[in-house]
Amino acid sequence: MLVGHQTWVFDNKPVILTTGTVGGPFEANGMIPNDFDLLHDDMWLEQASFEKAQQTLMEEACQIAIKKSNIEKENVQFFIGGDLINQITPTSFAANTLGAPYFGLFSACATSMEGLALSAAIINSGGANHILSGVSSHNASAERQFRYPTEYGGQKPPTAQWTVTGAGCALVGKEGEGPVITSATIGKVVDMGMTDPFNMGGAMAPAAVETIETHLRERNIDHTFYDLIITGDLAHIGREVSLDLLHKRGIDIPEEKYVDCGLTIYREGQPVLAGASGPACSAVVTYGHFLNRLKKGELDRILVVATGALHSPLSIYQKDPIPCIAHAVSIESGRDIQ
């Protein structure tokens, strides 16, 4: 299964059986509302706090993925998930509701593909037949923890990004119909010494480039193998920085084949500054929009590279640099697998 130092190739090709994607009112007004399973018109979701609303988003995404399958909840062996909030409490509380054995993860906004890679590895090796892998984020809970509460009305620079309110979950199985997971490259922490918490795209771009280059080298392929290479939430600034860095490394991906979830979810004119972010950004766009395109036959192979900034409020107050990471998962339509 191991190819090189960082890449797994899944010979048994675990299947993404179903997905569940949930969003909030801002996402409902974005570019891809029809790719969500459920959209809310209220940020509170009738809960007492934004953190409890985020827990509800995760629970709904998991329930939708299970309901769309023919799998009983009791036959899900593991739930793998995470979020941005201290001690990933929204995910842990959702895991309690779900009742499945639970792995809690934190790779910030890269957690979606970290969870999907681990799910595929466990299933590929025979460790489980069905695993739920999901993440969530909430704009107001993230603002309260990492910046200022939205009620404060603080001014943000144009490099800042808008945290997606939503949750995305994939039910991964040993066999069945659906897109297949063919490989994954686990990223290394990359620290370029950046300290500006309002420029996450610029900070994460080198980690994305490092993982993309490693993935292509260790699989002995070039970028033309994929119809699209999809980054998680580099947004406008990080995307441009990463394209420049890739070019310097001799990897010239056409701009139309190098897309970003943070630039896909919202429409022009929404006040999201540089673009979208949050663990749910890559999850809902991948599990909704891009998997739908795979199923329709518009795409055959995609590489999803979720990116995460591994800082905390405390590390920023102590003026530490921002370490970043990116995890890549290749997903194929599975039409050529009988």
190: DSSP letter: B
Nearest CA to 326 among 209, 219, 169? 209
Angle between helix 50-68 and helix 139-146 axes, rounded to 10 deg: 140
Q: How confident is the model over 154-191, as pLDDT tens digits?
A: 778 788 889 999 999 999 999 999 999 999 999 999 99
Separation of alpha carbons 14 and 196, rounded Å: 39
Which stretches of the chain are DSSP H helices? 25-28, 50-68, 89-98, 111-124, 139-146, 200-219, 235-248, 279-284, 291-296, 313-317
Separation of alpha carbons 100 and 79, rounded Å: 6
φ/ψ region of 49 (left if φ > 0, alpha if ψ in -120 to 50, else beta) reads beta
Q: In the chain, what is the straight-line distance between the N-terminal and C-terminal CA atoms, in Å?
A: 21
Model pLDDT, residue 150: 64
Model pLDDT, residue 338: 43
Q: How does pLDDT run along the chain (338 residues), one tens digit per residue?
A: 899 999 999 999 999 999 999 999 999 999 999 999 999 999 999 999 999 999 999 999 999 999 999 899 999 999 999 999 999 999 999 999 999 999 999 999 999 999 999 999 999 999 999 999 999 999 999 988 887 666 666 778 788 889 999 999 999 999 999 999 999 999 999 999 988 888 889 999 999 999 999 999 999 999 999 999 999 999 999 999 999 999 999 999 999 999 999 999 999 999 998 999 999 999 999 999 999 999 999 999 999 999 999 999 889 889 999 999 999 999 999 866 54
Nearest CA to 278 among 83, 33, 118, 140? 83
301 forms bridges with which residues in the sheet? Answer: 332
**Structural domains for the chain:** 2-173 (3.40.47.40), 180-332 (3.40.47.40)
Separation of alpha carbons 110 and 310, rounded Å: 9
Separation of alpha carbons 21 and 167, rounded Å: 6
8 Å CB contact between 171 and 76: yes
The sign of the dihedral angle between the CA atoms of 218, 224, 228, 232 is positive
Write down the pTM of the prediction.
0.95
Model pLDDT, residue 149: 62
8 Å CB contact between 143 and 284: no
Q: How confident is the model over 52-71, as pLDDT tens digits?
A: 999 999 999 999 999 999 89
